[in-house]
């Protein structure tokens, strides 16, 4: 593909067509899917969806011609669009996966629901509080559409075991959740860093569409491919990984938006132009009188990824496995319990598809994504403003 203009000649057009709601699907109906954002993560969930029974991928939208070319290798007969609005006009598309950079989630989510399509929205659901509210308005307006937020661990066997352990009421008063996420990479290979390819130029990337509502800038291939480095498009590791660990416990514990969030840290290791920190610590005070702490760094993987739910009668320890451990001082006769529920392949995507067919309910509904999004935004603002951020629940504002 030698130019964007040539590529545009091979994709569908016709923005004047009217948008029609998707049809109601039965339990055995084939679901026809499209995706907005066919990058690395997008293609991962495309492959998950294709591997689920009775599905078909028929449309891809992306602002980069190479991404659409690569998508063709997975679904050769699918239509490709450089403008996502063309995809949403396609009346054959029943459901849309949204896997674009975080600053574009609101635009693509709301447009998908307005087009009458079901939506699988990758995390973190909303980029800002304003975006979260706009997405909430769209969700409330289009109740017939299924929405699944992409916190996939909620559909794991670990969640089934966690719910069972919580139902047993053996933790007593939970006062703290300690969570962490640590990674390391070889010298010279920074976390998240992606190469700039020669064809990443204004001919092959619709730069204006990539920017969306972000500050307008001249074309910059590095900002395009390494968007996770920059606050204009990314919430850093708060949005990449903290969100997952929050969501896992926000759902079963029904945690509300934190009253206050304090974040510290900095770019201590990777001096490669990134704005988001590579080392950070967050403390979140919740109205349920539970303190949630989360620490993360990209320079050592010794501690891995884990969460500890701490009550005065017992604990739940979660990493690759999950276990209940009693506090013998208060429950001397209790024994440890090791979770054993298997995680089914592609469980989160299958749950979304089953929900579209009406045979299930989304494991990660909109409200979980909403609360987690705002908690993550509070962490970002605390880091950037170098102060504690409060949440005014009555006005639904950060202060």
pLDDT at 242 > cutoff 90: yes
pLDDT higher at 258 or 1:
258
In this structure, are residues 61 and 206 in contact, taking their beta carbons and an 8 Å threshold?
A: no
Looking at residue 342, what is its pLDDT?
97
pLDDT, mean of residues 110-117: 98
pLDDT at 10 > cutoff 70: no
pLDDT, mean of residues 62-76: 97
Looking at residue 395, what is its pLDDT?
98
pLDDT, mean of residues 26-51: 94
Tokens of 92: 């054959």
pLDDT, mean of residues 115-134: 98
pLDDT at 168 > cutoff 90: yes
Of 74, 138, 73, 75, the residue nearest 106 (C-alpha): 138
pLDDT at 347 > cutoff 80: yes
Q: How far is CA 314 from CA 179, 287, 293, in A?
A: 17, 21, 18
Percent of the chain residues past pLDDT 90, beyond the cut: 93
Q: Is 16 exposed, middle or buried (CB count within 10 Å of its CB: 0-12, 13-18, 19+)?
A: exposed
In this structure, are residues 134 and 107 in contact, taking their beta carbons and an 8 Å threshold?
A: no
pLDDT, mean of residues 14-33: 62
Q: How far is CA 175 from CA 116, 178, 374, in A?
A: 43, 10, 21
Tokens of 87: 């995809």
Beta bridge partners of 64: 205
Tokens of 330: 């208060």
Of 183, 206, 265, the residue nearest 83 (C-alpha): 206
Cβ count within 10 A of residue 187: 5
Looking at residue 18, what is its pLDDT?
36
Q: What are phi and psi of 224, to 5 degrees?
A: -65, -55
Residue 201 host element (H or E): none
Q: What is the pLDDT of residues 298-323, one digit of tens each?
A: 999 999 999 999 999 999 999 999 99
Looking at residue 24, what is its pLDDT?
62
Domains of the chain are 4-154 (3.40.50.720), 156-211+223-343+366-398 (3.30.360.10)
Residues in the chain, overall count: 399
Looking at residue 215, what is its pLDDT?
98
Of 152, 157, 135, the residue nearest 363 (C-alpha): 152
Task: Band the pLDDT of 19: cuts 50, 70, 90.
Answer: very low
pLDDT at 11 > cutoff 70: no
19-56 in b/e form (b: 16+ CB < 10 A) is: eeebeebeeeeebbbbbbbbbeebbebbebbeebeebe
Q: What is the pLDDT of residues 351-364, one digit of tens each?
A: 999 999 999 999 99
pLDDT, mean of residues 384-397: 98
Looking at residue 6, what is its pLDDT?
43
Looking at residue 115, what is its pLDDT?
98
Residue 256 host element (H or E): none
Q: What is the pLDDT of residues 202-232, one digit of tens each?
A: 999 999 999 999 999 999 999 999 999 999 9
Tokens of 160: 């089934």
What is the C-alpha to C-alpha distance for residues 100 and 81, in angstroms, rounded to an integer?
14
Looking at residue 230, what is its pLDDT?
98
Tokens of 151: 């916190």
Q: What are phi and psi of 172, to 5 degrees?
A: 70, -145
pLDDT at 365 > cutoff 60: yes
Task: List strand residue ranges (DSSP E) for the chain, in order.
Answer: 31-36, 55-61, 79-81, 95-98, 118-121, 147-149, 174-182, 260-266, 279-286, 290-297, 305-311, 314-318, 322-326, 337-338, 389-392, 397-398
Of 354, 380, 300, 259, the residue nearest 54 (C-alpha): 354
Residue 62's contacts (CB-CB under 8 Å, 6 or more residues apart) are 36, 37, 38, 39, 42, 68, 71, 80, 82
pLDDT, mean of residues 261-274: 98
Q: What share of the chain is helix, strand, coil (3-state, %, to 5)?
A: 35, 20, 45
Looking at residue 23, what is its pLDDT?
54
pLDDT at 20 > cutoff 60: no
Mean pLDDT, rounded, of the chain: 94
In this structure, are residues 376 and 169 in contact, taking their beta carbons and an 8 Å threshold?
A: no
Residue 102's contacts (CB-CB under 8 Å, 6 or more residues apart) are 124, 127, 233, 234, 235, 239
Beta bridge partners of 96: 34, 119
3-state DSSP call for residue 399? coil
Angle (nearest 5°) at CA 36 between 113 and 193: 135
């Amino acid at each position: 593909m030698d130019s964007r203009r040539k590529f545009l000649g091979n994709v569908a057009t016709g923005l004047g067509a009217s948008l029609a709601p998707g049809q109601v699907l039965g339990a055995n109906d084939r679901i026809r899917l499209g995706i907005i954002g066919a990058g690395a993560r997008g293609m991962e969930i495309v492959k998950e969806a294709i591997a689920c029974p009775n599905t078909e991928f028929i449309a891809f939208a992306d602002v980069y011609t190479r991404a659409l070319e690569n998508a063709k290798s997975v679904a050769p007969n699918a239509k490709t669009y450089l403008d996502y609005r063309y995809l949403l006009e396609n009346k054959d598309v029943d459901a849309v996966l949204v896997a674009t950079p975080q600053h574009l989630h609101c635009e693509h989510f709301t447009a998908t629901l307005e087009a009458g399509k079901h939506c699988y929205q990758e995390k973190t659901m909303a980029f800002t509080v304003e975006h979260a509210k706009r997405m909430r308005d769209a969700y409330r307006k289009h109740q017939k559409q299924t929405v699944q937020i992409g916190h996939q661990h909620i559909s794991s066997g670990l969640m089934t075991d966690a719910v069972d352990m919580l139902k047993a009421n053996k933790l007593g008063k939970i006062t703290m959740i300690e969570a962490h996420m640590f990674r390391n990479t070889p010298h010279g290979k920074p976390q998240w860093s992606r190469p700039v390819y020669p064809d990443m130029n204004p001919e092959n990337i619709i730069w204006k569409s990539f920017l969306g509502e972000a500050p307008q800038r001249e074309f910059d291939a590095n900002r395009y491919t390494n968007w996770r480095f920059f606050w204009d498009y990314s919430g850093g590791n708060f949005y990449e990984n903290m969100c997952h660990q929050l969501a896992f416990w926000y759902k079963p514990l029904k945690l509300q938006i934190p009253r206050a969030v304090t974040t510290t840290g900095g770019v201590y290791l990777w001096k490669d132009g990134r704005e988001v920190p590579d080392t950070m610590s967050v403390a979140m005070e919740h109205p349920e009188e539970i303190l949630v702490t989360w620490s993360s760094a990209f320079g050592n993987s010794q501690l891995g990824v884990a969460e500890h739910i701490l009550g005065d009668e017992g604990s739940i320890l979660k990493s690759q496995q999950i276990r209940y451990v009693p506090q013998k001082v208060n429950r001397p006769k209790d024994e440890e319990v090791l979770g054993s529920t298997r995680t089914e392949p592609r469980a989160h995507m299958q749950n979304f598809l089953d929900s579209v067919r009406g045979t299930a309910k989304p494991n990660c509904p909109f409200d979980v994504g909403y609360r987690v999004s705002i908690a993550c935004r509070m962490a970002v603002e605390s880091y950037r403003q170098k102060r504690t951020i409060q949440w005014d629940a009555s006005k639904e504002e950060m202060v």
